[in-house]
Amino acid sequence: MAAFTLAHLSDPHLSPLPRPRLIELAGKRALGYINWTRNRYKYHRRDVLDVLVSDLHTQTPNQIAVTGDLVNLAMEAEFPLALAWLKTIGPPDRVTAIPGNHDAYVRQTRLHFAKSFADYFCGDENAVGPPSFPSLRRRGPLALISLSSAVPTAPFMATGRIGPEQLAALERLLETLSTEQVFRVLLVHHPLRSTNRMKWLTDAADLIALLKRHGVELILHGHDHVHSTVWIDGPERQIPVVGVPSASSIAHGHYPAAAYNLFAIAREGNHWRCDMTVRGINDALRVREIRQVRLF
Ligand SMILES: [Fe+2]
Ligand SMILES: [Fe+2]
């Protein structure tokens, strides 16, 4: 059986930033805007993102996951632009997108992501009421489970939180899936292991404990803007937790240039096989394969 391919990109931090209205530049957004106009605009480039995405399309993945931080300051005008961009990645049945902290940057627009991108994360089942997290989408052998860790935070903070309601619903969902032969992929913006109190997932310990009880096959995240693979305990074996650089970034400081990961997933006898290919841009803004890793 041919492998099912899942592409993962994250943190496009779309540019150019629309001109803010004066009323939008208060509190946290004012600081974020200064940071964008002084620094971040230099590192998150649309031409880089476009080169990376066009390479991704040549790989014709079966499914694409986008793990948050589509926008920057969560201004009203950023959301339609981000939706237009997401449509260029693919239709909602082939692309799953979850929010990052920048998509819920301030309280006023914290629900905009859910409204604008519902088609891109809603579960397969027609739930009563608006789509919510966690959601479950079945694609080929995958059970794609989306979480939201995106919450507004104080200035200089970029922490995330899942919350007890999502965790309880996730536990029920994983109990339901436990009798099925599906490859469970968990999407969450924040990494699970972080020592940075300004940026970490505040209830990561609860999520890690839940995953130790129920397990999934693979966890994908963004937020840190670096290549990362760590392993956490599952009920029977370890679970890879994989992060990618920002999809629009040039290399700067300790941040690598934009990249995405491709996972080839296939059933072999009684086991899953999962191979990861990392593709990223070089100094000449060309995309090439960086490495291949067999996760299991
Ligand atoms: Fe980000
Ligand atoms: Fe983030």
pLDDT of 26 reads 84
What's the domain count of the chain? 1
pLDDT of 128 reads 64
Taking the centre of ligand 2 as the mean of its atom positions, its distance from the CA of residue 71, in whole angstroms, is 10
Taking the centre of ligand 1 as the mean of its atom positions, its distance from the CA of residue 56, in whole angstroms, is 20
Domain range for 165? 4-18+25-294
Taking the centre of ligand 2 as the mean of its atom positions, its distance from the CA of residue 290, in whole angstroms, is 24
Percent over 90 (pLDDT), the chain: 95
pLDDT of 227 reads 98
**Could you give the angle at which helices 78-89 and 46-58 cross, rounded to 10 degrees?**
30
Return the ligand number nearest the Cα of 225: 1
Taking the centre of ligand 1 as the mean of its atom positions, its distance from the CA of residue 268, in whole angstroms, is 36
Q: What is the pLDDT of residues 218-260, one digit of tens each?
A: 999 999 999 999 999 999 999 999 999 999 999 999 999 999 9
Please say if the pLDDT value at position 126 is more than 70: no
Q: What whole-number distance in Å separates Cα of residue 155 and Cα of residue 25? A: 13
pLDDT of 177 reads 97
Taking the centre of ligand 1 as the mean of its atom positions, its distance from the CA of residue 6, in whole angstroms, is 21
Cβ atoms of 260 and 281 within 8 Å: the answer is no
Q: What is the pLDDT of residues 153-192, one digit of tens each?
A: 999 999 999 999 999 999 999 999 999 999 999 999 999 9
Return the ligand number nearest the Cα of 249: 1
Q: Which residues pair with 7 in a beta bridge?
A: 64, 262
pLDDT of 74 reads 96
Taking the centre of ligand 1 as the mean of its atom positions, its distance from the CA of residue 202, in whole angstroms, is 17
Q: Which of 263, 240, 182 is nearest to 6 (CA)?
A: 263
Mean pLDDT of 27-33: 93
Taking the centre of ligand 1 as the mean of its atom positions, its distance from the CA of residue 40, in whole angstroms, is 11
Taking the centre of ligand 2 as the mean of its atom positions, its distance from the CA of residue 155, in whole angstroms, is 14
Return the ligand number nearest the Cα of 157: 2
Q: Which residues pair with 263 in a beta bridge?
A: 6, 276
Q: What whole-number distance in Å separates Cα of residue 203 and Cα of residue 29? A: 25
Please say if the pLDDT value at position 127 is more than 70: no
Cβ atoms of 201 and 207 within 8 Å: the answer is yes
Return the ligand number nearest the Cα of 153: 2
pLDDT of 285 reads 95
Cβ atoms of 133 and 161 within 8 Å: the answer is no
Taking the centre of ligand 2 as the mean of its atom positions, its distance from the CA of residue 44, in whole angstroms, is 13
Taking the centre of ligand 2 as the mean of its atom positions, its distance from the CA of residue 153, in whole angstroms, is 12
Q: What is the pLDDT of residues 77-102, one digit of tens each?
A: 999 999 999 999 999 999 999 999 99
Please say if the pLDDT value at position 121 is more than 90: yes
What CATH number corresponds to the domain at position 143?
A: 3.60.21.10
Return the ligand number nearest the Cα of 101: 2
Taking the centre of ligand 1 as the mean of its atom positions, its distance from the CA of residue 260, in whole angstroms, is 14
Taking the centre of ligand 1 as the mean of its atom positions, its distance from the CA of residue 163, in whole angstroms, is 21
